[in-house]
Structure 1
């Protein structure tokens, strides 16, 4: 059984790495993050490279997400391809060319949600949706709202009457959060209550799988920064990487990274295969494994890099903290890690059928 990437997949990852390395050197990442801005010219480059191709398999998207995490690409690609595209595809809609996002969280401060009411042939949304990623860049927003008979998904124009987009405090300045306030805002129904819960769950799992891959890229970049410092920094006549306290820390982080990489790509394959080719329980388990392993690998790699780089790594000028911010954001976004651990514990502790004993 061959688990290696194909030549085409390796070529895709290498092309993505070259593109992002050229567009996002560390000094530009720092400048964009300090300004709290997305790259205003990045989106057309990604579209031309095929990053938004609706036929792109999930494994290939995962490889792109890894490179986006490695570079900290300041675009709305994940919000668009990871979250919004699956909802639009489920509705049978043609994918628009611009960036999109998906809003489903309640306001974290007040707990307020969003409701939808039908007025003749139109729908109107009122309420709040919080923690919306890349909302300022979006050319359209997919918004979840309660219709009274169940949750539904709606398409909202950013220029719609009654809609305001307010920034929320965010640890990761390159993926800032926004609060949507909707006051009798016109919306177009995408997915009705009979299917919206499932479509939203599938979109979140699709997006979460790509975030696991992004976390792999973050971990790899942090490990590279630490490795470079361990080779360049000399103490007592030797590179500090020659000392076990540094070398073993990096080796442990490398093992965690390799495990997370394998689990994240396996989850991509199973999520892409869907229930027709994989058992739903197997998909759920693989997704939980990937999220837990990748989140932990990213946070650990960044914290190990802080230890290896010492005082240098803790300075504002050194770029490591931007990747650490992303790792902490990944560790806290959407479903908590404890929930995924409970899923895995339930699988592990589920009673197994005992094999029949042969008759005496």
Structure 2
């Protein structure tokens, strides 16, 4: 008897996205090694949970989910708080699940839907429709077919030769088509795709893909509908690979910005030690790229007027020849601005290394 093979037509767009994601993963891996990994991973996990639950209608914000994680009281519907607690527990157990084991899927569902449905941890006993508002957009297979369909799907996953990026998205689509549970199918499908990807590359364990799925929720459901109408999971695979690519690009950008902020803070601290004044350090950094007047410096410092301390530090920097006037022969000119001297530029360059 031949194994079930989900219908998909691999096209150039899918192949290009796989290559693009592979390249982005290399860049992301290098940045994550230099990042504050534990803090970033926790933040990304919270964003993942927020995105996945928000798609299903949960109204808790990122701050509220963080409060639940920290054991703080949250004013919200009890069911939604329970959904968050369950999701946190499920993602904490992420590392023990094996994506090719059907028993692990059932165990994860039991944890994810604990106290939310009478059928947590087991396949549905009745029919289920996928709704968009009041419209039925998909009628799932009969309940008595679910065990066989899920067995076939896991058997395919264990033997498929598709690239994990493609296989994970195919599994996600097939899972949503079968809709094996009475409730929690969306969050379980997204969780299991992340698990398949994390087994291939551990970076995916903490990549907040669900945040972008939530931001493109209508496109997510449309991709499912398109794949069903075409009997071809390619539209959904394209959508999910596009989301993964976008997520990686955003994470790389965020970490580059955070790294730039860290570098700036370290430079400011070193300048403060050297100049024995935080205000003087800020002045040097403000005029690093352009000449500024005292009024402009005061505004950047958040001051309403030129303070005596600002006058004092500008004078000290002039005396130490770290800065110079742009109009030196007219010290009191209204057009007077201040810029770095060659010595000032050299100082910043030395401390930046």
TM-score (structure 2 length as normaliser): 0.25
Larger strand percent: 1
Larger radius of gyration: 2
TM-score by length of 1: 0.24
